[in-house]
Amino acid sequence: MKWAYAHLLTIQSIGLIIVLILAVQLSIYTYFIYRELTEAKHVLREFQKIKKWLNTLIGLWSVLIGFLVIAVPVALIFIEAVDDNSSLIYKPLGSILGLCIYILGYLYSLKYSKVVESYSDRVAKLSFSIEEMDDKKEQILNALSKDRVYLDPNLTIAKFASHLNWPINSVSSIINESLQTNFNDLIGKHRVEDFKDRLLASDSYKYSILGLGQEAGFSSKASFYRAFKKETGMTPSDYIKSQA
Inter-residue long-range contacts of 70-75, CB under 8 Å, 24+ positions, other chains counted: 72/16, 72/17, 72/19, 72/20, 72/23, 73/20, 75/16
pLDDT (0 to 100) of residue 117: 72
Integer Cα distance of 214 and 236 in angstroms: 13
For position 139, what pLDDT does the model report? 92
Secondary structure element (H or E) that encloses residue 221, with its range: helix 221-232
Considering all CA atoms of the chain, what is the largest pairwise distance in Å, rounded to the nearest integer? 99
Q: Are 58 and 37 in contact (CB under 8 A)?
A: yes
Whether 236 and 244 have beta carbons less than 8 Å apart is answered as: no
* Domains of the chain in sequence order: 2-125 (no CATH), 130-243 (1.10.10.60)
Give 243's Cβ-side CA count (13 Å radius).
Answer: 12
C-alpha span between 238 and 242 (Å, rounded): 6
Residue pair 43/51 in contact (Cβ under 8 Å)? The answer is: no
This model's pTM is above 0.85:
no
Q: pLDDT tens for the chain, 244 residues: list them.
A: 555 445 556 666 676 677 777 777 777 777 776 776 665 555 555 667 777 777 777 777 777 777 777 777 776 666 666 555 555 666 666 677 777 777 776 766 666 777 767 766 666 655 666 677 788 889 999 999 999 999 999 999 989 988 988 888 778 888 887 888 899 999 999 999 999 999 888 888 888 999 999 999 999 999 999 999 999 999 999 988 888 7
In whole angstroms, give the CA distance from residue 12 to residue 89. Answer: 11
Q: Where are the extended beta strands (E) located within the chain? A: none
